[in-house]
Amino acid sequence: MADDSKTDRRTAAERAYVSVRDSISSGRFAVGERLTEGALAEEAKVSRTPVREALRRLASEGFVTLSPHAGAIVKGWSEKDVRDVFETRALIESHAAGLAARHANAADVQRLAAMAERMEPLARSSPREVMAYSEANRAFHAEILRIAGNLRMEEIALNFMDLGFLVRSYAQFETEDVQRSLSDHRQLVTAIGAGDERCAEAVMRGHILSAALIFRGTGPEAAPRGTRPLPAAPTPEHEKEPSR
Partner DNA sequence: AAACTATTGATTGCATACAATCCGTCAAGT
Partner DNA sequence: ACTTGACGGATTGTATGCAATCAATAGTTT
**Which residues of this protein are in contact with a copy of itself, per CB under 8 A?**
11, 49, 52-53, 56-57, 60, 68, 81, 84-85, 87-88, 91-92, 95, 146, 150-153, 156, 160, 244
Nearer to a copy of itself, 92 or 203 (CB): 92
As a whole number of angstroms, the distance between CA 31 and CA 10 comes to 28
* Among 176, 108, 171, 167, CA closest to 143: 108
Contacting residue, 69, 80, 152, 240, with DNA by CB under 7 A: 69
How far lies 146's CA from each of 152, 177, 201, in Å?
Answer: 10, 26, 15
Interacting residues with DNA between 171 and 190 (CB under 7 A):
none
As a whole number of angstroms, the distance between CA 34 and CA 22 comes to 16
Nearer to a copy of itself, 95 or 168 (CB): 95
- Any bridge partners for residue 21, and if so which? none
Residue 109 Cβ, how far from a copy of itself at the closest point, in Å? 17
- Any bridge partners for residue 71, and if so which? 67
As a whole number of angstroms, the distance between CA 143 and CA 111 comes to 9
Degrees to nearest 5, angle at CA 186 with 184 and 187? 65
Nearer to DNA, 68 or 219 (CB): 68
Residue 28 Cβ, how far from DNA at the closest point, in Å? 17
Q: Please choose, out of 31-39, 153-161, 167-175, 182-190, the segment that lies near DNA by the rule CB under 7 A.
A: 31-39
Residue 18 Cβ, how far from a copy of itself at the closest point, in Å? 15
By CB under 7 A, residue 68 contacts DNA: yes
Q: What is the end-to-end Cα distance of the chain in Å, rounded?
A: 44
Nearer to DNA, 34 or 124 (CB): 34
- Any bridge partners for residue 192, and if so which? none
Residue 71 Cβ, how far from DNA at the closest point, in Å? 3
Residue 10 Cβ, how far from DNA at the closest point, in Å? 8
Interacting residues with DNA between 33 and 62 (CB under 7 A):
34-38, 46-50, 52-53
153: how many CB neighbours lie within 10 A of its CB?
Answer: 17
Q: Residue 233 gets which letter from DSSP?
A: P
Where along the sequence are the contacts to DNA (CB under 7 A)?
Answer: 11-14, 34-38, 46-50, 52-53, 66, 68-72
